Amino acid sequence: MADWRVLIGSKSFGKMFPEHLDSLRQAGCEVVPNQVGRPYRAAELAQALRGVEAIVTGTDELTAEVIAAADRLKTIAKHGVGLDNIDLPAARSRGILVSATFGAVHDSVADLAMALLLAVARGIVPAHVGTAAGKWKGFMGMELRGKVLGIVGLGRIGKEVSLRAACFGMKVIAHDPRPDQAFAAAHGIRFVPLAELLSQSDAVSLHAGLEQAGRPLLGPAEIACLKKGAILVNTGRGHLVDEAALARALAEGRLAGAGLDVFQREPPEGSPLLALENVVLAPHMAGDTRDARRRMGEITVENVVRVKRGEPPLCPVE
């Protein structure tokens, strides 16, 4: 008989891999399906979490008020890595263990970051469109060997991007407020201030969190520091970049191009980037591979089951 109730807030958990739901049941959990067909809003969660020990959440509104009202909640298991929807101080004050799926999507995101870089560097998208339309026009591209890749945020994903870039013969520099000196030394990576990275890099790949509340990491001044002819790739967060300033730099030809998977507003309706030919756009899909989704589900299940057993989750949020 199930002795733990687990509310499924995430719309994607168990959809592609139903066996992840079965794993929860086999561990003695009663699975409570999402009843609204979308992320729960705060007012809905206040009722939905009554008598529930765990929630598998996507982007549900887990506010301080919701967490305070949850009478039996023991753990919040994020099916993903972004934690903006969870009031972490409120969870800590209640002794509720929060976990995420760190490491589940790093290979998938790193692959797409390199794919975007290659697509922009070789003009693959306009070449395809032109060829499909009956035009036979090549595009003068840029080799990656010997070029400098600046990685902003050398965490799990940034490290994987650096390893891929090294295979293409690129030189890697990085900026990170918490530098992993051992990894950098082992792979010949040099940490530099952000302004120096922007001015020296032939391509910049963003994998950072937002360091300054209220302003993008790359505003007009930072974009002006980018090396002329550089390529910008963003698979991190849309609000890292001032899109209007980036669009101006691309339209004026100061930058060679950009590969973007994330935007300030999603979908990016009305963004000036949509009209530019030297931009490759993707619909926030960097982590969307079957491999990543399988790992995300497995880690989420393990996080919940470990807490049920009285153990720390596999991937705790400190």
Whether 317 maps to a domain, the answer reads: no
- Of 187, 248, 284, 294, the active-site residue reads 284
Whether 314 maps to a domain, the answer reads: no
273, 169: one domain: yes
Strand pairing class (29-32; 171-175): unpaired
Structure tokens at 117: 């870089």
97, 131: one domain: no
- Of 143, 266, 277, 311, the active-site residue reads 266
191 beta partners = 174
- Of 164, 175, 237, 295, the active-site residue reads 237
Question: Is 128 tagged catalytic?
Answer: no
123, 234: one domain: yes
Domain with 114, as residue range(s), is 106-281
pTM of the model: 0.90
Q: Report the alpha-carbon distance of residue 7 to residue 86 in Å, rounded.
A: 15
210, 300: one domain: no
Interacting residues of 72 by C-beta distance below 8 A, sequence separation 6+: 5, 50, 51, 52, 53
66, 126: one domain: no
Per-residue pLDDT of the chain (318 residues; tens, 9 = 90+): 568 999 999 999 999 999 999 999 999 999 999 999 999 999 999 999 999 999 999 999 999 999 999 999 999 999 998 898 999 999 999 999 999 999 999 999 999 999 999 999 999 999 999 999 999 998 999 999 999 999 999 999 999 999 999 999 999 999 999 999 999 999 999 999 999 999 999 999 999 976 555 689 999 999 999 999 999 999 999 999 999 999 999 999 999 999 999 999 999 999 999 999 999 999 999 999 999 999 999 999 999 999 999 999 999 998
Report the number of distinct structural domains present in the chain: 2
For 158-202, list the strands marked E by DSSP. Answer: 171-175, 190-191
88, 223: one domain: no
Largest CA distance in the chain: 67
Q: Report the alpha-carbon distance of residue 148 to residue 129 in Å, rounded.
A: 29
17, 121: one domain: no
Question: Is 237 tagged catalytic?
Answer: yes
- Quote the pLDDT of residue 210: 62
pLDDT in tens, 106-150: 999 999 999 999 999 999 999 999 999 999 998 999 999 999 999
Interacting residues of 217 by C-beta distance below 8 A, sequence separation 6+: 152, 194, 206, 208, 210, 211, 240, 241
204 beta partners = 150, 232
Question: Is 175 tagged catalytic?
Answer: no
96, 53: one domain: yes
**CATH number, position 252:** 3.40.50.720
